[in-house]
Structure 1
Amino acid sequence: MSTAAQPPWHVDEATVGNPRPRDMSEDKDRLRRQVRARRNHRSARRRAEVAEQLAQVLLTIPEVAAARCVSVYASRPTEPGTGPILDELAARGVRLLMPVLGTGLQRDWAEYAGRDDLRERAPGRPPEPSGPPLGAATLADADVVLVPALAVDVAGGRLGQGGGWYDRVLTHVRPGAPVIALVHEDELLDVVPREPHDLTVTAVATPDGWRRLGPQPDADA
C-alpha cells in the first residue's frame, strides 16, 4: 500500500506519548477538522467505491479471512464504508458484533442481524442492531476488531472522534486479536498526536491495501 504521509499540521514529536495536554489537545482538534473537511468533499460515488475496495482489501488479511467472530461498526456517511464488508462476512456465516451505545460512554455489544435491522437510535449516533445487549466483555469473543479512525500513524497511534469510546472498549480485546483501523489512504500518517491514555491499533486498512503497525516480531528470533 502507499507510504505514510506527512501530517498536515505541526506537532513536536518529543511530546507524543508524553505531551503538554493543552498543546496535544489543540493538535488533535486541528487534525480532526482537517480530516473531516476532506471527507465531506468526497462524492457519493467515490464513497461507494471506497467501501467496495475496502471490503476486498480486508478479505485479504489472513486473520479476517479465517475469523469466526468479528467486531465491526456501522459507518457514518463520510467514513470509509463498512456496508460491503458486513455483507461479505455475514454471507460467510461470520458472527458479527456491533457497538451499542448506552447513556454517556456506556459500552455494550449486540449481534448484527442484517442491514435492515440497523436503526439510528438517537440523533447523531451510528446505526445499531436491535438485538439484546451482550455486555462489554463480549468483545473478547472477537477474533478481529475493526475500528473507525480519523487518522492512524505507522506506530499504531489512532485519532478518534474525541469521545474516548473506543479507548475504553479496546481494553476488552482478547490478547493477540488484531485491531484494525479503517481509513482513507491519505489518513495514514507518519505521526498523529497521541496522549498516554490513547490505545494503539495493530494494523490499518485503506482502499489501497493494508499493513501491520507498530513493532513487529523479529523474523530471526
Structure 2
Amino acid sequence: MKGAQIPTSQPYPVQPGMEAEDAKEELRRAIRKQRNLRSPKQRAQAESAIADVVSSIPEVRDASVVGMYAARAGEPATGMLMELLASRGARVLLPVLGTGLARDWADYAGPEDLLERAPGRPPEPGGQTLGQDALKLADVVVAPALAVDTRGVRLGQGGGWYDRVLTHARPEAKVVAIVFPEEVYDATERPLPFEQHDHPVHAVATTTDWRWLTA
C-alpha cells in the first residue's frame, strides 16, 4: 500500500433523523473501510500494543478467568493478549458460535487449536464446550467492537451476539471493549446510535491507553 499511514480520521456518517439501525449500518461500513487501510505491519504493531495496554488494566491483570475473543481479520488482533494472559496463569474463555443464535464457550488452548470453522466467523477453540452460562466464571470480559462512545455505548458487528451473551456475565464483572484509537467517540459531539437491546461496556482499551466510561 502506497505511503501506509495509520488512519486517524473518525467516520461519522450519521444524519439527523436517521433510524438507529440505519445509522449503525452506515457507521459499520465506514469503520470497516477505514480498518482495511491498515497494513500487515501496522496490524502487528497494534497487536503488541493492545496486549500491553489491556493486560495492564487491574481487573484484567488480576483476573483468574477472562472472557475473551479471538479477533477476525481486520479487527484489532488479540492473539498476543490471549497468550500473555494464559502465560500468567489466567483461564481464557473464548466464544463458540454454534448454529443460528446458539451461544457457547470453550477454553483457549493455544493458537494452534484455533480454527475458522465457517467463513466469516471468528477463530474458535476445538475443545469441549462449556455452555452459555460459562461466562459467569469470568472475572472480567474483553469484548470486540467497531466503536465505543464515552457513555459506554458499543457498536458491534451487527449480529447482536455479544449483546445477548453479556447478559450471562456476573453483574460485578467489568466489560472492556477493544478498538483502535480513532474509534473512541465523544458522546457529547458524536454519540453512537443506541437501541434498547444494546449492552453497554464499562471501559475501552486502544493501542495507546484505556479508560473507564460512564456506562
1:124 is paired with a residue of what secondary structure?
coil
**Superposed CA offset, 1:72-113 (max 9, x none):** 111012100101101101111110100001111110000000
What residue number does 2:166 align with? 170
1:192 correspondence with 2:209? no
Superposed, which structure 2 residues align to 1:43-122 within 5 Å?
Answer: 43-122=39-118
| Residues in 2 aligned to 1:110 and 1:210: alpha-carbon distance in whole angstroms | 27
Structure 2 matches for 1:178-217, cutoff 5 A? 178-190=174-186, 191-214=191-214
TM-score normalised by the chain length of structure 2:
0.91
Tell me the TM-score normalized by structure 1: 0.88
CA distance in 2 between counterparts of 1:66 and 1:135 reads: 24
Q: Deviations over 1:109-150 (max 9, x none)?
A: 000000001111111111110111100011010011000000
Moved over 4 A (4+): none
Count of matched residue positions in the alignment of Structure 1 and Structure 2? 203
The letter for the 1-side match of 2:22 is E
Question: Alpha-carbon deviation of 1:11?
Answer: 4.5
1:7 and 1:52 mapped to 2: Cα distance? 25
Distance change >3 Å, CA 84–CA 25, structure 1 → 2: same
Quick one: which of 142, 149, 153 aligns to 1:153? 149
SS at match of 1:179: strand
| Residue 8 (structure 1) aligned to one of 4, 7, 12 | 12
> How far apart are residue 9 of structure 1 and its match?
2.3
8 Å Cα contact 1:107/1:136 also seen in 2:
yes
| 1:10 Cα deviation after fit | 2.9
Q: Which has the higher contact order (CA 8 A, sep 6+)?
A: 1
Cα separation, 2, equivalents of 1:59 and 1:97: 16
Unaligned runs of 5+ in 2: 1-8
Identical aligned residues as a percent: 54
- Asked whether the equivalents of residues 7 and 189 of structure 1 are also in contact (C-alpha less than 8 Å), the reply is no
Q: Structure 1 regions of 5+ residues with no counterpart?
A: 13-19, 216-221
RMSD between aligned alpha carbons? Answer: 1.4
